[in-house]
Structure 1
Amino acid sequence: MDYTSTQSGFKQQPKMRQRNTVEGPDPMFEDTSAAPGRGPGLAAQPGGYRGQDAGLGAGAYPGQTLLSDPMSNLAMAYGSSLASQGREIVDKNLDRFLPVSRLKYYFAVDTVYVGKKLGLLVFPYMHQNWEVSYQQDTPVAPRFDINAPDLYIPAMGFITYVLVAGLALGTQNRFSPEILGMQASSALVWLIMEVLAVLLSLYLVTVNTDLTTIDLVAFSGYKYVGMIVGVVAGLLFGRTGYYLTLLWCCVSIFVFMIRTLRLKLLSEAAAEGVLVRGARNQLRMYLTMSIAGAQPIFMYWLTYHLVR
């Protein structure tokens, strides 16, 4: 009997523990993290981090402190002012020799203008009005005036001349990339030397003119049209065709340069005295004749070896 009671009591004891475990947890394992302000729990730490984040601000990082420094702002402003001053100095000195801002004007052409200009370069004899049109003291774009200088025809003429020269050398079994490069560089060097010589002559003669460096490059580059026509005629009809065609083109470019530069170089003569005007007019006329007469020489010098 005692054994049974002891056994029954032994069996009931686990049931009581199981009931107590289900009804409530042991105080030793009670979770106090959900209760605010109950000692140093995990809930106190997030509050501390939130306070630090609030002090830095949303999205703040240490680099903002450097950017907000007055000395850094002053240095950035000083650097920007130096950059702007340097750019102005470069633009001013560059515009003295090559007005880059006007390059857009010299390429304002269309198909009609190019066709008429090429015809004028080859047949300038029937053209009457050679004056450039102006609109509010500004010359109109080349596509509106056939007398206005442009850079499109000289640039395309130079490239076409190099290609035609390569074709002519290829038909004679003399083509090589080195020779073609020498041909292009030689034509470019002669063009630069011609423009520099004209600028020096204008400076020595002290001629007041509205001709710019780009105008001289344009007028000097028009001779490539006659050179191309002469070389193509030589490839098709031999040396006889080359000489006849080149002679026609040389006379045409001479007449074109005389009638064009005469107005440019004599535009300031009316404001001078009679004696000064007479002496200066002779110098201007000699200079105009020299510039126009140099064009046939360059045309023959750069093309005679391409036709055999």
Structure 2
Amino acid sequence: MNDATAQFGMQLGHTAVAAGQEYVQRNFGGLVPLTSLKHHFNVSNSYVMHKLRLLVFPWRHRPWTRKVYRTEQGATEWQPPRDDLNSPDLYIPVMALVTYVLIAALQSGLQHRFHPEVLGNAASRALGVTFLDFVAVYLGCYLLNISGPSQIMDLLSYGGYKFVGVILTLISGLLNFGRTIYLLVFFYTFAANAFFLLRSLRSVVLPDANAGANVGTVTHAARSRRITFLFLIAMLQIVYMGFLVRV
């Protein structure tokens, strides 16, 4: 009876998991493909450490071109973050967002003004800025006829990297180094994030410049508009980051 019950339970569990996966894929697979989501969370400890260093010191990094590999069917796809430092990931943005919420709560506690709503307010602020940044960039890509594989996940990834600089700014404030050091850290991390986006977002905004992107070339006028849009994205980061550090 025990063996029969265990087998029945295992079979029921497999059926439930399969049904759940089918439901998620059917209802959300078109908006957020599960394969793309897994791709952006395919990281390693080595990748995370090197990517954090790249986000803070992007000035001498070479090259910026993303790597591709050829599938058995002959198609080309981007290498996962584990195998390509230039590949965007969602692990660091998600962890950085959670860390930002915790540091905001810690700062409120050290200033003797902590209350449970601080966590919700910080999370709402972070998610709101992330959503606003994503909508602005995605709308710009739509108006400029910019498309590509896993574009939504890539834009979310690049938009979430700003939290690394925000966290460093908040930590410098917690350590009481003075307002001058605080401002220097803020403007340095903004410049690093802006430079990182300028170089990294070429794979999205100017995909024809990358060997791995199977897209046609664009006209000179369209390319100029895309470059202007790319600089606008980078410069707007100072507004987003300035709002986030005011916790």
TM-score range for the pair, normalised by the shorter chain length: 0.7 to 0.9
Counting only pairs closer than 5 Å after superposition, residues 85-124 of structure 1 correspond to structure 2 as 91=25, 94-124=28-58
Report deviation, 1:89.
Answer: 8.7
The TM-score with structure 2 as length reference comes to 0.82
Structure 2: how far apart are the matches of 1:113 and 1:102?
18
Counting only pairs closer than 5 Å after superposition, residues 1-308 of structure 1 correspond to structure 2 as 91=25, 94-136=28-70, 137-210=76-149, 212-236=151-175, 237-268=177-208, 271-272=216-217, 277-303=219-245, 305-306=246-247
Is there any run of 5+ residues in structure 1 with no aligned partner, and where? Answer: 1-83
Aligned length: 220
Assess if the C-alpha contact under 8 Å between 1:211 and 1:264 holds in 2: no
Report deviation, 1:211.
Answer: 5.1
Structure 2: how far apart are the matches of 1:249 and 1:193?
20
Report deviation, 1:194.
Answer: 1.5
The TM-score with structure 1 as length reference comes to 0.66
**Closer, same or farther in 2 for the Cα pair 1:90/1:154, shift >3 Å?**
closer
Ranges of 4+ aligned residues in structure 1 off by more than 6 Å: 87-90
**Closer, same or farther in 2 for the Cα pair 1:149/1:200, shift >3 Å?**
same
Report deviation, 1:88.
Answer: 6.9
Report deviation, 1:93.
Answer: 5.6
Alpha-carbon deviations, 1:145-173, whole Å to 9, x = none? Answer: 10011111001000100111111111111
Structure 2: how far apart are the matches of 1:234 and 1:174?
16
> How high is the sequence identity, in percent, across the aligned residues?
39
Alpha-carbon deviations, 1:246-270, whole Å to 9, x = none? Answer: 1110000000000011233222378
Structure 2: how far apart are the matches of 1:166 and 1:209?
38
Alpha-carbon deviations, 1:6-37, whole Å to 9, x = none? Answer: xxxxxxxxxxxxxxxxxxxxxxxxxxxxxxxx
SS across alignment from 1:268? helix
Assess if the C-alpha contact under 8 Å between 1:209 and 1:265 holds in 2: no
Structure 1: how far apart are the matches of 2:147 and 2:42?
27
Report deviation, 1:242.
Answer: 1.5
Greater C-alpha Rg: 1
**Closer, same or farther in 2 for the Cα pair 1:196/1:93, shift >3 Å?**
farther
SS across alignment from 1:185? helix
SS across alignment from 2:77? coil
Assess if the C-alpha contact under 8 Å between 1:208 and 1:268 holds in 2: no
Larger relative contact order (C-alpha < 8 A, sep ≥ 6)? 2
Is there any run of 5+ residues in structure 2 with no aligned partner, and where? Answer: 1-18, 71-75, 210-214
What's the C-alpha RMSD, in Å, of the aligned pairs?
A: 2.3
Report deviation, 1:186.
Answer: 1.5
